[in-house]
Structure 1
Amino acid sequence: MRKRKVTSMDIAKAAGVSQSTVSMVLNKKYNVSFSKETVEKVERVAKELGYVPQKRKHRKESKKEKLLVVFCSNLTNPYYVMLLQGIESRAKEQGFGLFVCNTQRDLHMEERYLKMMWELKPLGIIYTCNPSHCFMELVEELSRSIPVAIINNQNERLNVDAVELDNSKLGRMMAEHLLELGHRKVAYVAPPLTTRQKQRSKRVEGFLNGFAEKGLKDQVIIKAAREEIDLDVAHIDSEYKIGYELTRELLKESPEVTAIVGLNDMIAFGILDALHEAKLKVPGDMSVMGCDNTLFARMHKVDLTTIEHFVIFKGRDACDIIMKKIASHNTKYSDIEPISTYHVEYEPKLIVRGTTSYPREIKRRRR
């Protein structure tokens, strides 16, 4: 007959101590203090009863967290929050966690985060904007071992997967809307138009081209913030302040303007407040447009005319691309790993609300 295995309960009864004491003594838990006599007694009884310690199962290496890294240049703009929302909703469905790297458009921070990727070894990396030009090669090198997807400006050609946006098209759509309403003297308010932020310049370029086709390019005033602003850490109201302060300057310099466009919705909100402070009615005295169709643009009292380019969907698609790359990496085809490049693009849509209308003089003629 098979001999019954001695348990910690047996030792506890024989030694006259609690089972937890036996367990801690035999497992050498030194964080709890026992008298020398108690320790010796438990060990002696265990030996007399023929206690055989259980073989410890070697813990398998803990299952690695399914991690995706997301690079953001700015978390003060709802646009990036919407992108993150789209990425996270899809990542959560697939059991992935997110690690967000907010570079704040600082080259040193971006480089530091990129160098961390070799050690962190995430299953995928998503850039919510174009990588800085000086790190393009590093990003492409990373993409050879870690799937990388970039939500980028269509005009930037990279050898990585991308959810693309034709910023020139967005600018052109803004111009077409204002031209159809009869606006001729207009202004475009933007953050610094630097080579590092080429997507901004592309949006402005598209707007200018729309007016140039009608022979009205010289009627467009481009009001861009100073380049130093991009060197500061972005605050929650940074882009709003750009819209607000540059509009105040614009009203003094060019009062004949009938429409002002913000490069994005956050800038447009600043434009609206500056106009309200100047006691100018929107759209009665001035039309205003934004871009991105963020949550605040849809609010009743704001009612901003803007461009929808399906930001949340782009976040989900970027995540889907990463999932597909992971799946193809894990599935060999004739012992050869398939190589594919994905490019996704959404057609933007004009959302006309309550901040754009005919310019003043046309309104008077229509009465």
Structure 2
Amino acid sequence: MITIYDIAEKAGVSAMTVSRVINNTGRISEATRKRVKKVMEELHYIPNSMARSLVLQKTKILSLLITDIRNPFFTTLARGAEDAALRAGYRLLFANSDEDYAKEKGYVDMMLSTRVDGVLFAPTGDHSLENLLQLQKHNIPFVLLDREIPGIEADLVLGDSKEGARKLVEHLIELGHRRIAMINGTPDVSTARLRYSGYREAHLLSGLGVEDSLVIHRNFRDFQDESALDALIHHEQPPTAIFAANNMLAIGAIQALRKRGLQVPRDLSVVCFDDFGHTDVLNPFLTVASQPAYQFGALGMQLLIERIEGEAAQEHRKMILPSELLIRSSTQALV
């Protein structure tokens, strides 16, 4: 194995000089720096990243923790984060919590032991507070994505969940729907609270009441409780439309409806928050509030690197990205 002593001997310099070239520290002439680097290339020397991290107190490794890798929103977000990290000279470790707090905690413990320089963090819910406090305790910078956590002051990149939800429900109301069900995430997730608030606001602004029996709360990751859907279908006054608070819930609901012989939009109109990425390009079907997922990741990574490198203001920043209403064929007007 090639060592810095081999490099030093062939370049005619000290091992300390080689170390300074590798870590970009100290005062070294440009001619010496070029000579050392040339020898490193000739000998195919690869610096020990762990040793470098001990010297520099930086690993140049960041982590991205998301809640559901299957969700096209998060896969596109991850691409934006990775591209931004690589441009800035960082490597990125991916982690997926599956909306599971215990799994999230395991990844946070791993990040602490790996000595990552910072974390781009999409929390599972309000209970993620303890995991974030662990990062704070160990002075690891983080930026929150998609969800806020009460009690945590941090840089944030969020979507306008309330406004996007309101626009979706208003679209249904304009089509004549008056009984609109909502399949939402659990109330301990900030986006679920905000999307319910938008759902509620659209009803109230249109002079309609909100009926609690038409609102279902389930895990954002999927919709497997078909008995809850049956309760809606067989309601004394069943809904004519469904607002799913994310795309994974929408997929589950549509599949369950089809199993019962119900077609969208013939029998029920359906809208949802978040688009489906490239998989939906050839045959776009669902009316959605589309978020700029790539920008979520890229902007979040930019804020994180600025925080790590001391380029951010002391005051934390909150970026809210707008959604776009895309009207497709999953809705129709009531006759």
Question: Does the CA-based 8 Å contact 1:310-1:348 persist in structure 2?
Answer: yes
Report what 1:38 is aligned to.
Answer: none
Change (3 A) 1:136 1:156: same
Report what 1:216 is aligned to.
Answer: 208
Change (3 A) 1:77 1:95: same
How far apart, in 2, do the equivalents of 1:138 and 1:151 lie?
18
- Matching of residue 124 in structure 1 with residue 99 in structure 2: no
Deviation at 1:216, TM superposition (A): 1.9
Determine what percentage of the aligned residue pairs are the same residue. Answer: 21
- Normalized against structure 1, the TM-score is what? 0.68
- Matching of residue 133 in structure 1 with residue 165 in structure 2: no
Alignment of 1:200-215 (within 5 A): 200-215=192-207
Report what 2:93 is aligned to.
Answer: 99
- Matching of residue 199 in structure 1 with residue 191 in structure 2: yes
SS for the counterpart of 2:257 is: helix
Question: Does the CA-based 8 Å contact 1:155-1:166 persist in structure 2?
Answer: no
- Matching of residue 88 in structure 1 with residue 82 in structure 2: yes
Report what 1:355 is aligned to.
Answer: 330
Report what 1:73 is aligned to.
Answer: 67
- Matching of residue 109 in structure 1 with residue 84 in structure 2: no
Question: Does the CA-based 8 Å contact 2:273-2:288 persist in structure 1?
Answer: yes
Q: 1:346 aligns with which of 303, 317, 321?
A: 321
How far apart, in 2, do the equivalents of 1:69 and 1:121 lie?
10
- Matching of residue 315 in structure 1 with residue 308 in structure 2: no
Change (3 A) 1:84 1:182: same
Bigger Cα Rg: 1
Report what 1:252 is aligned to.
Answer: 234
Report what 2:253 is aligned to.
Answer: 271
Change (3 A) 1:154 1:133: closer
Report what 2:40 is aligned to.
Answer: none
Provide the aligned length of Structure 1 versus Structure 2. 286
- Normalized against structure 2, the TM-score is what? 0.74
Change (3 A) 1:338 1:293: closer
Deviation at 1:182, TM superposition (A): 1.5
Report what 2:24 is aligned to.
Answer: none
SS for the counterpart of 1:253 is: coil
Change (3 A) 1:352 1:323: same
1:284-323: CA deviation from partner (whole Å, max 9, x where unpaired): 3321001111226734545110001211111000011122
Question: Does the CA-based 8 Å contact 2:187-2:217 persist in structure 1?
Answer: no
How far apart, in 2, do the equivalents of 1:254 and 1:98 lie?
52
SS for the counterpart of 2:234 is: helix
Deviation at 1:219, TM superposition (A): 4.5
Deviation at 1:217, TM superposition (A): 2.4
Q: 1:239 aligns with which of 204, 208, 222?
A: 222
Question: Does the CA-based 8 Å contact 2:169-2:243 persist in structure 1?
Answer: no
Change (3 A) 1:308 1:157: farther
Instruction: Give the superposed CA RMSD.
Output: 3.1
SS for the counterpart of 1:163 is: strand
Question: Does the CA-based 8 Å contact 1:190-1:263 persist in structure 2?
Answer: yes
Change (3 A) 1:249 1:87: same
Q: Which moved more, 1:104-113 or 1:312-321?
A: 104-113
- Which AA in structure 1 matches 2:68? N
SS for the counterpart of 1:241 is: coil
Report what 1:327 is aligned to.
Answer: 309
How far apart, in 1, do the equivalents of 2:190 and 2:207 lie?
25
Change (3 A) 1:265 1:116: closer
Report what 2:23 is aligned to.
Answer: none
Change (3 A) 1:82 1:338: closer
Question: Does the CA-based 8 Å contact 2:288-2:327 persist in structure 1?
Answer: yes
1:131-174: CA deviation from partner (whole Å, max 9, x where unpaired): 613344334444xx333111133685732111123322222222
